[in-house]
A and B are shown apart, each in its own frame.
Chain A
Amino acid sequence: MTAVLLAGLQKRFGDGDHAVHALDGIDLELATGEFVSLIGPSGCGKSTLLRVVADLEQPTSGSVLVGGKTPHQARLDQDYGIAFQQAGLLEWRNVVENVELPLHVHGVDKAERRARAAELLELVGLEEFAGSRPSELSGGMQQRVAIARALAPSPRLLLMDEPFGALDEMTRERMQAELLRIARETEAAVLFVTHSIPEAVVLSDRVVVMSPRPGRITEIVKGERPGADADVDDVRESSAFFTAITTVREALRKGHP
């Protein structure tokens, strides 16, 4: 069973002369538990691709399967969790209530969702902030709450649209390590959109490099995602890491002369 299967995917916005060809001939398969990053310049359609998987956009043509279902069915069944660049927490709910939101929407009873939210807050290391207001948290902490929220329905797939884009470099590296641990513990597949080459390389099993107008996959580079017993910081200093960065950079240049 694959987590995501895209075949011949096309996406156009508008029609006639003003049509924007956002995605063209995308074929991609995401295995169960696999971590795949989408990287490319602005306008290459990487966010659109993720949004098509999330059923937030409809493809113009081609087939999309999420865990063997249509994206629409996968959304209704809550088979995926999603995190955006903005944490998008509801400011009138405290941290634990924000994490519970997906379960609350789907009618899970209070005791059960509290227990699940407590687990998730422990997973993201925010158990002592359960009663805090979102506005009292730093940007990185808010993003961790958003990730915990995305994980609430125990999805097999996590969709992340530049979730660390607004964070400073130090926080960002810490969040990357956290995300690697979470992905390992939950065994969820992750589709991750980013602008950052090192981020894509250190997190991913595979880095998908895209080019703009029309958005196409130019190359798929093997990432340096560390195994269970490896240290992220060791990876960041390894020569394989730098080699992979160079490969991705050259692939980006090729697609964008």
Chain B
Amino acid sequence: MVGRARTVGAAVVAFALLVVLWELAKLVLPGDGVLVGDTRILPRTDDSAMPHVWTVLGRLAEPEVAGAADARTVGAAVASGALFSLALALGGLVLGGVLGMVLALAMQRFALLERAALPYVVASQTVPLIAIAPLVVGWGGKIAIMGWAWQPWASVMVISSYLAFFPIAVGMLRGLNAPAKADVELFRTLAAGWWTTLLRLRLPSSVPFLLPAVRLAAAAAVVGAIVAEISTGTRGGIGRLIIEYARSATGDPSRLYTAILGAAVLGLVAAGAVGLLDLGLRRYRGSVR
């Protein structure tokens, strides 16, 4: 318990130090940064580029548009944006995760499929799939599936699920193939069929491989949702908010930082959700024999 308290304490101190470092940079470094030739090697530190931490936090409680009477606060806007993006990212994670698991099961069952498709699945993790985001975006308003007009947020979710799909497929397949040869042979001698082996051996032993994959996929889904919102112009999400606030950052820099803060919290919440899953499946973790 002492070790745990120490870890938490260290984290608090670390982030407090970051804040101190930020303010120290504002205090010590020249306001217009340091230029070598035409290249700025140290950032501008005046209030228009790096606002005080308390200015940013204070901005959360102020109305989104200065002067408007009944406008919602920046905090409310950021929170609702983050929630919206979180919902899309989680939706994408579930969708991509299920598809990834199905593909992994199919690859485990049919060796030829594994040999044919796996190189692509592996390679897909190393190529910038997210590059197609601006293209999926074009679907909005142009297609309809069985009478349901394609919504921009659906594009966002598709991109999110797309990014979550591959790490989960690869992690799941590794997990399904993880049981030792001796264990697989034991199930053979017990005359267990493919399903029994899957349920009693392969699925439990895939958990330690699946969890890091899900963690990775969750982070990818969040990035995917944010980037997709930027490309789609889907309103309501944190990604759109970042771009919107960035446009007016010269006049109102602290608003941009509140949005970034919202995105960071969003990522941490998604990671926390995976952490809960981790907790729930703890008895399978690392207990693979």
- Within 8 Å by CB, do A and B touch in the complex? no
Q: State the B residues within 8 Å of A (CB).
A: none
